[in-house]
Chains A and B, each alone.
Chain A
Amino acid sequence: MADQPGVAAMETGSLEFRGAEVDLVDERRESRETVGTPFVDDARMTCRDVNVHYGDNHAIKNVSLDIGREQVLAMIGPSGCGKSTFLRALNRMNDTIDGCRMTGEIKLDGNDIYAKDMDVVPLRALVGMVFQKPNPFPKSIFDNIAYGVRIHGLAESKSEIEGIVEHSLKRAGLWEEVNDRLRQPGTGLSGGQQQRLCIARTIAVSPEVILMDEPCSALDPIATARVEDLINELGADYTIAIVTHSMQQAARVSQRTAYFHLGDLLEVGPTDQIFTNPIHPLTEDYITGRFG
């Protein structure tokens, strides 16, 4: 993740006046320009001037951001800041919401995903999604994972499907727990297991990007720790964008962090830098717990 030298220099320049010049701090506090390093050299997804409206509600305002290849980008921010909306724009899940409009440009490996000739079906196979609440299909564990493989025709034979199911469950760290009951309903698993099943279901169609919308918010701390370990492992092979309420979680799983505030993307940077040395005053307020 190469820094954008110009932006960084400008920001460090103004940092010197911090505390001394009250007016300047206020001005910076009012600023809604993105600071930090929103762009990277080797981006898997590039977003430029993205705006999302829900009816009259301007939910995402001029967001430009890159998602780096094979790394984890965490999106944090107070409730209603638009981080989930932005995440859902990345695989066009917002299309299903009535009255939702999107402008700007989002590219996956250089292809505009909002282009007229882009079909959402292959897009969502390439950009998988894990949701806030574990939502396994009311089918067997096996069928949950095999479903995506089957509808996309990714396997030639039954044994190939079985291989994919086993591999996906192993990647999701669930194989040991469920290999003797693959035919039982996925809804019978515990919450944490269900969420890992959903992750296994997503990686079964071998996507390039995995989007996660607060994947641990419905889980207890132990299950959360397991899912976080899994995200860390998957980050080596997949491009992951994760929305989270928990700053600790963002710190634990991500390499880059983006801070959203009321629809604006205020700051993007390497995770350790955001949490130790934030540039934007509002980012600092949020991570130090002054609001959120």
Chain B
Amino acid sequence: MAASGKSTIERVRATLARRNRAERRFKNFGRAAVLLGLLFLVLVFVNIILTGYSAFWQTFVKLPVHFDARVIDPRGGADPETLGSADYGALVKASVRSLFPDVSGRRHRRELGKLVSRGTVFQLRRMVLEDPSLVGSSTEVWVPVDDDYDMLHKGNVDRTLPETDRRLSDRQIAWFDRLADDGRVESRFNITFFTAGDSREPELAGIRGAAMGSFFTLAVTLLLSFPLGVATSVYLEEFAPRNRLTALIEVNINNLAAVPSIVFGLLGLAVFINLFGLPRSAPLVGGLVLTLMTLPTIIIAGRAALTSVPPSIREAALGVGASKLQMIVHHVLPLAMPGMLTGTIIGMARALGETAPLLMIGMVAFVVDVPQSVTDAATALPVQIFLWLDSPERAFVERASAAIMVLLAFLVAMNALAVVLRRRFERRW
């Protein structure tokens, strides 16, 4: 120090500016990275919401329906069987034609028939079965329009395109515009989207089947993987001897966490369906497969949480004469629980968004009915999104985006639940 003629403080000062600069640079890089990440997150959200929000609305048209007794109850008596099997399609056709009496010719009439959703037939049938006194009367009924008209009304059809490049002809567009001018067209909240299962018709397709499938699948996964994962991590961390066998098990658990999920799907197909004979497409099997997939995550997080419990607490418990199990159950597990819950939620969130293994066990099937139990055929939300994006109809694009929103809402709800659970455990301890 003396040799260079500089005091310590001078030497420190010489490099101080550089050190401070490096720190500022690092902070700025960090901020830039966070901003970039946020930007893309916002981009994704905005894109999904802009594409999908319109799926929560559905265009309806007001039809003047005459429940012609000659058509639906030719023999009289309002016999439910007769009413149930009657030709309501004829009513719909007649009703639409009554709106456009000037349309003639077979081809034009067929085009006209596609104005309203195919579900209208079932809607009218339901109305009549609920209230047979409707037979013979006339009433105005709001019915959903076909998805092509729905897209037209939502502005997703480019009217400037040549007619041959559109799904709707100029004539069809003119009819619809006339109805709109007559005040017969209205946008309503799309309840069907939340109450129905899948359908080939976008205006009849809903998220409920997939949501229930996801719910049952995740319920099975949670019920199996959480207790199993916690018990395994406790045993491996606290009780198992440290030898080659446990080291091998440990390595394998860590490896399992990195196995591609489709492999778990294959395993589920081979073991649960082919060997055990469980039903295909069932949330039970999906839950079992996802359990296999989430277990390593939960075990690894659980073991990390257990090792992070301070040894002083263990000694305190043993010191007053707690047995090993009492020490773990009374003191170590409650302290490790927030970490274990975090691992579980991460695993469950991954399971919720998992598609590939479900494809292998048949949960990719077209399921119209809303599943009522873990053995009913079902699909899951991400599979439903995949199926809809695979469909050619423009209307399914917005529904897929809406389904993504529902999926994200589930994820946010799960994470919020995790935060609440953590808070509660931390307050208690």
Contact = CB atoms under 8 A, between A and B. Distances in A.
Interface of A: 91, 93, 96, 98, 120-125, 128-131, 133, 135-139, 147-148, 151-152, 198, 201-202, 205
Interface stretch (B65-73, B123-131, B310-318): B310-318
Interface in B188-247: 242
B319 interface: yes
Given A98-B242, A147-B330, A138 B320 contact: no
Contact of B316 (A123, A135, A205): A135
Given A137-B313, A138-B429, A139-B429, A148 B320 contact: yes
The 8 closest A-B pairs by CB, nearest first: A148-B320, A125-B321, A135-B312, A124-B321, A129-B319, A135-B316, A138-B429, A121-B323
Contacts of B42: none
Interface in B278-314: 310, 312-314
B281 to A, nearest CB: 47
A135 B315 CA distance: 8
Given A98-B242, A138-B429, A201 B320 contact: yes
B331 interface: yes
A135 B313 contact: yes
A93 B322 CA distance: 12
A148 B321 contact: yes
- Interface SS majority for chain B: helix
A120 B324 CA distance: 10
B315 A137 contact: no
A205 B312 contact: no
Nearest to A211: B319
A131 B320 contact: no
B321 A152 contact: yes
B318 to A, nearest CB: 6
A236 B331 CA distance: 33
Contacts of B330: 147, 151
Given A138-B429, A147-B330, A131 B312 contact: yes
Nearest to A130: B319
A136 B331 CA distance: 11
Given A129-B319, A135-B310, 13 more contacts: A93-B315, A93-B318, A93-B319, A96-B314, A98-B242, A120-B318, A128-B320, A135-B313, A137-B313, A137-B316, A152-B321, A201-B316, A202-B320
A84 to B, nearest CB: 12
Given A137-B331, A138-B335, A138-B429, A151 B316 contact: no
14 contacts: A93-B318, A93-B319, A96-B315, A121-B323, A123-B321, A137-B331, A138-B429, A147-B330, A148-B322, A151-B326, A152-B321, A198-B316, A202-B320, A205-B320
Nearest to A198: B316
A113 B323 CA distance: 16
A147 B312 CA distance: 16
Contacts of B319: 91, 93, 124, 128-131, 202
B238 to A, nearest CB: 10
B244 to A, nearest CB: 15
Contacts of B313: 135, 137-138
A198 B315 CA distance: 12
Nearest to A91: B319
Contacts of A137: 313, 316-317, 331
Contacts of B314: 96
A207 to B, nearest CB: 9
* Interface size range of chain B in the complex: 10 to 19
Given A135-B313, A137-B313, A138-B313, A96 B318 contact: yes
Interface string B320-347: 1111001000110001000000000000
A168 to B, nearest CB: 12
B307 to A, nearest CB: 14
Interface centre among A123, A124, A201 (most CB of B within 10 A): A124
Contacts of A202: 319-320
Contacts of B316: 131, 135-137, 198, 201
Interface centre among B314, B315, B335, B429 (most CB of A within 10 A): B315
Nearest to A131: B315
A151 B322 contact: yes
A79 B310 CA distance: 23
Contacts of B318: 93, 96, 120, 124
A148 B330 CA distance: 11
A151 B335 contact: no
A38 to B, nearest CB: 26
B315 A151 contact: no
Interface in B341-376: none
A202 B316 CA distance: 9
A2 B316 CA distance: 35
Nearest to B334: A138
Nearest to A123: B321
B327 to A, nearest CB: 10
Contacts of B242: 98
Contacts of A133: 312
A259 B316 CA distance: 27
A202 B319 CA distance: 8
A98 B318 CA distance: 16
Contacts of A96: 314-315, 318
Contacts of A138: 313, 335, 429
Contacts of A131: 312, 315-316, 319
B321 A151 contact: yes
Interface centre among A91, A93, A135, A148 (most CB of B within 10 A): A135
Nearest to A187: B429
A133 B315 CA distance: 11
A135 B331 CA distance: 12
A130 B312 CA distance: 11
B99 to A, nearest CB: 73
A127 to B, nearest CB: 9
Contacts of A98: 242
A122 B323 CA distance: 9
Contacts of B323: 121
Nearest to A134: B312
A135 B314 CA distance: 9
Interface string B384-428: 000000000000000000000000000000000000000000000
